[in-house]
Amino acid sequence: MFSSLLHIPIISPSVLVPAYALAAVTTIVVLLDLGLDRRLLSQRDRASASRVRVRRLRNLLIAAVIGAAVGLTAIWWVGDVQDAFGVAFTPVERMWIAFTFAAAAMFVVAMVQGGRQRRLVAVASLASVALAAGLGINVDFGAYRTLQQALMINPYPTVGLASQHPASPGATLVDAAAWTPPTGMPKHGMLTRLSIPGVVSGFHARDAVVYLPPAARVADPPVLPVIVSLSGQPGQPSDMFQSGQLAVQLDKYAAAHKGLAPIVVAPDQLGAPNRNPMCVNSRALGNSGTYITTDVVHWIKHHLNVAATPDSWGLVGFSEGATCAVQFLSGDPHDFGSALAISSELQQQEGSIRQTVTAAYGGSMRRYLDATPIALMREHQPFADHLIVFAVGQNDHRYRKSTQALQHAAVSAGIQTAVIVSPHTAHDWYTVRYSLQHGLLKVIAHEGLPR
């Protein structure tokens, strides 16, 4: 029963239409005040009842307008002025938040006006509007397709990597033209959940997700390139596969290339859905940077049959994960040769710059500035045969500016670049899916597999 609930498609009309209808009906019932006391409904008191209804309707409408105004003001202050979330709210998201604040204000007025039925209907209205708003914002953001995803439950099973073994020293990448897939090779890749311990970093990470293409699932797998995938924040390692449909793109590529595709490892650079260690090392937030560049890199080399040269190592990330991807390529050019950065920031930030510097850099502004992607590009230039594919949504004006600045700095540092603009999307998973569809091939080709 619970498992079935987890797989409810929360973006389908069969869920959205009833939710929106329920919100509309309960709100109308509150406004019509159908729970008016019976003593006011006698013949003698009809005029009095009508006046009471008008007064209550007026109070509810005034409350709704004030509530919506408060909601829009809160969004403006917290989102636009304080930039607490690091992204701009879309008109659709602002609309739903305004509706929810309006429903909350009507709920308060209904509670004050009294009447058991009226209060129960007000509770139902507030709950149904909040549910509809959550579903509507999710559709606009394009993130969660099921309740399981919304609850951040990693859906992938723990399966052993029996066919995998580390590549021998000096092993070269598979020759795609000469590769002949063995009989019985699976048609699709495999997703598995497993633990990558923070042996050196001491970082407490959630389980990683690993994608093995069909060619990696045979008895004697070829040496393949690898991509390290990094989620946004809030997020979890499975997001790029669930919300971004990364495995769909990889399976499509493998089907056209005799089962060959990069192995993908999606580690947890956050530690928890709402944490942001910013992919650096800090006493307060943990050694997220060392976890990825040392623990995860060493684990991959000792457990997976991947090529060792940086040309065959790539990164892909969204939002916070994209900023991490640019950071890692710029700061560790001997480990990573390419990256697909989807909606990358200019630098990592959690709250204000002052809060960021205090939390992650021990209060040192110099350390903070030295760790920004552009500073790392300047420090390690000139780069040799490195590629960053920058991607951003057409309507994501803030991140388009950061993308332009990062791309300019990368070119100046000798990094090959490409820019992908997802049409009519913003800072959302529609942008991610478009970017993976149109940018992943560039990274794969740079890693040495055919386009």
Per-residue pLDDT reduced to its tens digit, 207-245: 999 999 999 999 889 999 999 999 998 889 999 999 999
Q: What is the pLDDT of residue 111?
A: 79
Q: What is the pLDDT of residue 84?
A: 64
Residues 332-360 have a mean pLDDT of 88
The three-state DSSP-derived secondary structure of the chain is: CHHHHHCCECCCHHHHHHHHHHHHHHHHHHHHCCCCCHHHCCCCCHHHHHHHHHHHHHHHHHHHHHHHHHHHHHHHHHHHHCCCCCCCCCHHHHHHHHHHHHHHHHHHHHHHHCCHHHHHHHHHHHHHHHHHHHHHHHHHHCCCCEHHHHCCCCCCCCCCCCCCCCCCCCCCCCCCCCCCCCCCCCCCCEEEEECCCCCCCCCCCCCEEEEECHHHHCCCCCCECEEEEECCCCCCCCHHHHCCCHHHHHHHHHHHCCCCCCEEEECCCCCCCCCCCCCCEECCCEEHHHHHHHHHHHHHHHHCCECCCHHHEEEEEECHHHHHHHHHHHHCCCCCCEEEEECCCCCCCCCCHHHHHHHHCCCCHHHHHHCCHHHHHHHHCCCCCCEEEEEEECCCHHHHHHHHHHHHHHHHCCCEEEEEEECCCCCCHHHHHHHHHHHHHHHHHHHCCCC
Q: Which of 95-104, 155-164, 322-331, 401-410 has the lowest mean pLDDT?
A: 155-164
Per-residue pLDDT reduced to its tens digit, 5-19: 767 777 788 888 988
Residues 114-123 have a mean pLDDT of 77
pLDDT over 50 at 36, yes or no: no
